[in-house]
């Protein structure tokens, strides 16, 4: 009995030893000796996984590799047992990480207000919440990145998910992204979704070509029904296993629908009018092309184009007074931008940029060029900008019409007081609460925030 136990312990520790050694010989060259990662090689000692953090998902990633990346299918080199050992080793090292930071305060003293932070939803999402939109005074819809749509009713997450949504990709920054609500929702019930659509009907989504698509449909009795396709591109413009798909959406006051598609890591396409990468788009509610779109009626261009030369617009909002469309650009290292998106203009990516690539290589040595727009502001180092919202409520009167911008990596919100087309004042707050994914003014004037890691919904109101 004792001998058997000892034998078990010995083999277990020998296996752990082997995994640690195997890690050093096979994986450390890219992922680092301490799993810390480097440049384009993601760290493995972390909680936030690009290709799935469950044991099964990690075994799958390591066995089959990642198409289009230097991560080879290790199933051809290592045995299934060795791969499982490696994954257990990675998981054990993650579990040994210090616990998540202590709870953050629920009141913040800011320049204009003391703000009360309420954690409306702390658990219950099936995957990371990505976009939130209110449909009336009580209810909002929230997209879940791996293909879900949920109701938030009077500040509570409805446990019942909405079923019947289209399949979306299950990796990286793709998935079910933003949503928009028809300005006449009360009359027609239309809900618009931007998501990454994988071609074909079966198989792993990272092995199938994919592209951002815009659809609309209605939610009736927790089912997505009457779906219509509003924007897509031909199959030969789809890509296998990429990132930077966009996609933020916005209805302007005239009822036209804007959406964004990132550069899909396909720099050469961004300045081309017949390729979807790196643009913002504008369509009518039914998917038709507004007559004054810059390339309306041109057979050599995607007619929905509104602007070109955008790397990855992750936030888009209309100024409540001027009506200008503003956008945040998730840039390369040191190149996150705030822009005013004007019809037909070229924002310069990848010809001009203030950033350098994540592997340290310069992308371009130009920061300006004739015919290309300059940002209103850019940030170095990059906070990894995400959503943007102009505050339009009454609970924080001093903040009326000011801009709020979220950041993923820097885990913060920037309040930007604008003076015309300049940023007059910048205040950073809510640092370290999580990756800020979306920001919206609620119907009662509170500020709603979607966080990722942890996946939560927060509500900001003035402290009593
Ligand atoms: C030649 C470089 C290289 C080697 C060697 C390598 N990888 Fe990777 N690995 C990558 C790249 C590149 C990615 C994708 C990173 C990205 O998309 O940002 C990746 C991704 C991963 C991921 C997914 C990370 C996530 O966030 O979901 C896992 C898990 C992983 N590797 C494990 C391993 C293991 C285990 C080994 C050793 C058997 C290994 N890798 C060896 C380059 C490498």
Q: How much is the pLDDT for 6? A: 47
What is the distance between the alpha carbons of residues 351 and 427, in angstroms, rounded to a whole number?
31
- Tell whether the model's pLDDT for residue 3 goes beyond 70: no
Give residue 11's pLDDT band: very low, low, confident or very high (50, 70, 90): very low
pLDDT for 163 equals 96
Choose the residue to mutate in 31, 56, 242 for probing ligand 1, maximizing ligand atoms within 8 Å of C-beta. 31
Residue 17: pLDDT band (50, 70, 90) is low
pLDDT digits over 176-192, tens only?
999 999 999 999 999 99
Query: Looking up tokens 């199933």, which residue turns up?
Result: 75
Q: In the chain, what percentage of residues exceed pLDDT 90?
A: 76
Reported confidence tier of residue 101, pLDDT bands at 50, 70, 90? low
Query: Does any ligand 1 atom lie closer than 6 A to the CB of residue 41?
Result: yes
Does residue 374 carry a pLDDT above 50?
Answer: yes
pLDDT at res. 13: 47
Residue corresponding to tokens 């001009």: 352
The residue that leads in pLDDT, 463 or 93, is 463
**Does any ligand 1 atom lie closer than 6 A to the CB of residue 69?**
yes
> With a 6 A CB cut-off, is 55 part of the ligand 1 pocket?
no
What is the pLDDT at residue 95?
75
Q: What is the pLDDT of residue 33?
A: 85
Residue closest by Cα to atom 36 of ligand 1 = 27
What lies within 8 Å, CB to CB, of 435 at 6+ separation is: 48, 386, 407, 408, 409, 411, 451, 452, 453
Cβ of 40 below 6 Å from ligand 1: yes
CA of 41 to the centre of ligand 1 (A): 6
Q: Return the closest-CA partner of residue 66 out of 200, 245, 266, 240.
A: 240
Instruction: Note the pLDDT of residue 49.
Output: 82
Q: How far is the CA of 81 from the centre of ligand 1 (A)?
A: 18
| Atom 16 of ligand 1, nearest CA residue | 42
Ligand 1 atom with minimal separation from the 78 CA: 38
What is the whole-number distance in angstroms between the Cα of residue 241 and the centre of ligand 1?
14
Flag whether pLDDT at 279 surpasses 90: yes
* Ligand 1 binding pocket includes 29 (Cβ within 6 Å): yes
Token pair recorded at residue 360: 């340290």
| Residue whose C-alpha is closest to residue 141's, from 175, 179, 177, 196 | 179
Q: Which pLDDT score, from 0 to 100, does residue 10 have?
A: 43
Per-residue pLDDT band for 16 (boundaries 50, 70, 90) equals: low
Terminal C-alpha separation, the chain: 65
59 lines ligand 1 (CB under 6 A): no
Mean residue pLDDT across the chain = 92
Residue scoring higher pLDDT (6 or 431):
431
Residue nearest to atom 39 of ligand 1 (CA): 27
**Residue with the nearest Cα to atom 6 of ligand 1?**
27
Only one residue has tokens 């300005």, namely 183
CB neighbourhood size of 202 (10 A): 8
Using pLDDT thresholds of 50, 70 and 90, give the confidence band for residue 12.
very low
| Residue labelled with tokens 């309306």 | 296
Contact 54 CB / ligand 1 (< 6 Å): no
Residue 31 has pLDDT above 60, yes or no: yes
CA of 34 to the centre of ligand 1 (A): 14
Does the CB atom of residue 50 touch ligand 1 within 6 A? yes
What does the longest C-alpha to C-alpha distance in the chain come to?
A: 82
Paired tokens of 245: 């798909």
Neighbours of 380 (CB within 10 A): 13
How far is ligand 1, taken at its centre, from the CA of residue 410, in Å?
Answer: 24
98 falls in which pLDDT band (50, 70, 90)?
Answer: low
Least confident of 30-44, 216-230, 326-340, 424-438: 30-44
How far apart CA 214 and CA 227 sit, in angstroms, is 11
Environment class of residue 232 by beta-carbon count within 10 Å: exposed (0-12), middle (13-18) or buried (19+)? Answer: middle
- Among the ranges given (6-10, 158-162, 230-234), the one the predictor scored with the smallest mean pLDDT: 6-10
Q: How many of the other CB atoms lie within 10 Å of CB of 210? A: 24
Residue that is written with structure tokens 């004007």 in the block: 342
Closest CA to 255 of 177, 176, 188: 188
Pocket test for ligand 1, best of 41, 49, 81 (most atoms within 8 A of CB): 41
């Amino acid at each position: 009995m004792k001998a058997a136990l000892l034998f078990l312990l010995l083999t277990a520790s020998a296996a752990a030893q082997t995994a640690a050694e195997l890690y050093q010989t096979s994986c450390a060259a890219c992922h680092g000796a301490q799993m810390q990662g480097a440049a384009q090689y993601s760290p493995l000692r972390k909680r936030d996984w690009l290709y799935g953090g469950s044991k099964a998902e990690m075994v799958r990633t390591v066995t089959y590799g990642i198409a289009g990346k230097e991560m080879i299918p290790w199933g051809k080199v290592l045995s299934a047992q060795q791969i499982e050992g490696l994954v257990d080793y990675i998981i054990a090292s993650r579990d040994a990480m210090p616990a998540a930071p202590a709870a953050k305060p629920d009141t913040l003293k800011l320049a204009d207000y003391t703000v009360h932070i309420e954690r409306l939803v702390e658990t219950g999402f099936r995957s990371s919440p990505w976009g939130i939109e209110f449909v009336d005074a009580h209810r909002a819809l929230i997209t879940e990145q791996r293909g879900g749509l949920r109701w938030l009713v009077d500040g509570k997450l409805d446990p019942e998910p909405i079923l019947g949504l289209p399949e979306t990709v299950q990796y990286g920054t793709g998935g079910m992204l933003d949503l928009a609500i028809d300005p006449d929702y009360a009359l027609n019930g239309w809900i618009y979704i931007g998501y990454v659509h994988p071609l074909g009907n079966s198989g792993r989504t990272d092995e199938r070509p994919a592209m951002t698509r815009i659809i609309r449909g209605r939610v009736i009795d927790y089912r997505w029904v009457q779906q219509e396709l509003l924007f897509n591109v031909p199959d030969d413009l789809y890509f296998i296993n990429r990132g930077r798909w966009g996609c933020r959406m916005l209805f302007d006051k005239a009822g036209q629908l804007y959406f964004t598609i990132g550069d899909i890591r396909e720099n050469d396409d961004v300045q081309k009018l017949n390729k979807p990468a790196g643009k913002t788009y504008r369509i009518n509610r039914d998917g038709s092309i507004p007559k004054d779109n810059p390339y309306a009626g041109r057979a050599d261009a995607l007619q929905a184009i509104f602007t070109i030369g955008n790397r990855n617009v992750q936030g888009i909002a209309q100024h409540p007074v001027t009506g200008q469309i503003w956008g945040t650009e998730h840039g390369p290292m040191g190149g996150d931008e705030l822009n005013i998106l004007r019809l037909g203009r070229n924002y310069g990516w990848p010809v001009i940029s203030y950033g350098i690539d994540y592997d340290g290589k310069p992308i371009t040595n130009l920061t300006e060029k004739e015919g290309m727009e300059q940002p209103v502001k850019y940030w170095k180092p990059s906070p990894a900008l995400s959503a943007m919202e102009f505050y339009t409520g009454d609970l924080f009167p001093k903040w009326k019409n000011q801009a709020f911008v979220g950041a993923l990596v820097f885990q913060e919100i920037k309040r930007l007081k604008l003076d015309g087309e300049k940023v007059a004042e910048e205040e950073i707050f809510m640092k370290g609460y999580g990756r800020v994914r979306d920001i919206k003014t609620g119907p009662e004037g509170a500020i709603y925030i979607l966080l990722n890691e942890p996946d939560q919904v927060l509500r900001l109101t003035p402290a009593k």
